[in-house]
Amino acid sequence: MKTPSSRSIDVLVIDDDDVATESVLRSLRHCQIMLNCVTAEDGMEGLEILRGEHPSKKVVNPMVVLLDLNMPRMDGLEFLTEIRADAILHSTVIFVLTTSSRDADRSQSYQSNIAGYMVKSEVGPQFAKLARLLAAYGDAVSLPGA
């Protein structure tokens, strides 16, 4: 079993699928990574949280965003456009975690400077690969605010 990391990372999960979100959170807890996980149901709520405008949800650096693409109100691609245009948030580390395996979505996401693109069905039903990736990423990379 992995030894818990000594650094804490905030993870903002932006996904309208409650089942997928809970699976991600459960997998991250299972890997014993020191994380503060916050959830948002769509891109608009995600931006409110990142900008400190949400009444109850907060994240601080170092932080990683896990972003779904297919959501109501503001989808993931719209979120990426908005966040990359934001002078304060433009360098936020974002991994796309989506059901879309479309090359157009993948290309557009990478053009928005994401850190990685993962298709949910390929990550696995319990999101264990994702949890291991974030654990290794958090241990190996020096994130802003760390």
Average pLDDT over the chain reads: 85
Per-residue pLDDT of 86-101, as tens digits, reads: 999 999 999 999 989 9
| pLDDT tens profile 33-80 | 667 889 999 999 999 999 999 999 999 876 899 999 999 999 999 999
pLDDT digits (tens, 9 = 90+) for 119-136: 988 876 667 777 777 777
Neighbouring CB atoms inside 10 A of 79's CB total 25
Question: Structural domains in the chain?
Answer: 9-139 (3.40.50.2300)
